[in-house]
Chain A
Amino acid sequence: GNSVTQMEGPVTLSEEAFLTINCTYTATGYPSLFWYVQYPGEGLQLLLKATKADDKGSNKGFEATYRKETTSFHLEKGSVQVSDSAVYFCALGGSTLGRLYFGRGTQLTVWP
């Protein structure tokens, strides 16, 4: 079946530190992979996505590469800002169905 395992938080970093949030998946077929972000008091927003193996998604300085060999889609950012404080969700889209399978989320707090 389909599932996502996401690094547990919370993660606390100082501004300009390097960020990695690990995400691994189990899937049947050829899924798409997503990172969604939830800022305080707001709904879920798409941060980036990748639709096939070796694709790299990127947005707002964040990157993630779809690694089929390691079944991973780790989120990285070279220099985090206070405004990046949010909850980050890794998600998998089934190859034939539109529904998403989410990880449990990782709370990121960035201190100035």
Chain B
Amino acid sequence: GAGVSQSPRYKVTKRGQDVALRCDPISGHVSLYWYRQALGQGPEFLTDFNYEAQQDKSGLPNDRFSAERPEGSISTLTIQRTEQRDSAMYRCASTPGTGQETQYFGPGTRLLVL
């Protein structure tokens, strides 16, 4: 079956612009996670969802970052007024249930803010 998909795969934007990153999890997966990975570092947690409910947003760096999953499937991570420091790989993962299950990752979106 289809895995986790993310779009766009690459995004170049100018400082100050808003961007929306999309994640389409594996069909039927309950939980969805967003991570950010800087070059040479491991992924860092941003936020997660169980169905449509946002569970933990403690990893969002500031109020320019927001995420939603309105119908419990596709999720969008939005960054408003982008800054150069937002440049990174943004990764999405999903799991069938909740808790300590294997997370299935998408290919990521590489964001470059000029």
Give Cα A44 to B37, complex, Å: 11
For chain A, residues 2 to 51, give those with C-beta under 8 angstroms from any C-beta of chain B. Answer: 4, 6, 31-32, 34, 36, 42-46, 49, 51
For chain A, residues 87 to 112, give those with C-beta under 8 angstroms from any C-beta of chain B. Answer: 89, 91, 93-95, 97-105
Residues of B within 8 A of A93 (CB): 100
Give Cα A32 to B101, complex, Å: 9
Interface size on A, residues (CB 8 A): 27
Size bin of chain B's contact surface = 20 to 34
Give Cα A46 to B55, complex, Å: 23
What is the predominant secondary structure among interface residues of chain A facing chain B? strand
Residues of A within 8 A of B98 (CB): 98
Whether A98 touches B106, Cβ cut-off 8 Å, given contacts A51-B100, A104-B41, A105-B41, is no
Partner-binding segment picked from B13-21, B43-51, B64-72, B74-82: B43-51
B1 CB within 8 Å of chain A: no
B114 to chain A, nearest CB (A): 23
Sorted from nearest, which 4 A-B pairs have the closest CB atoms?
Answer: A102-B42, A44-B105, A32-B100, A93-B100
Chain B residues packing against A (C-beta within 8 Å): 4, 31, 33, 35, 40-45, 48, 55-56, 59, 91, 93, 95, 98-108
Chain A residues packing against B (C-beta within 8 Å): 4, 6, 31-32, 34, 36, 42-46, 49, 51, 89, 91, 93-95, 97-105
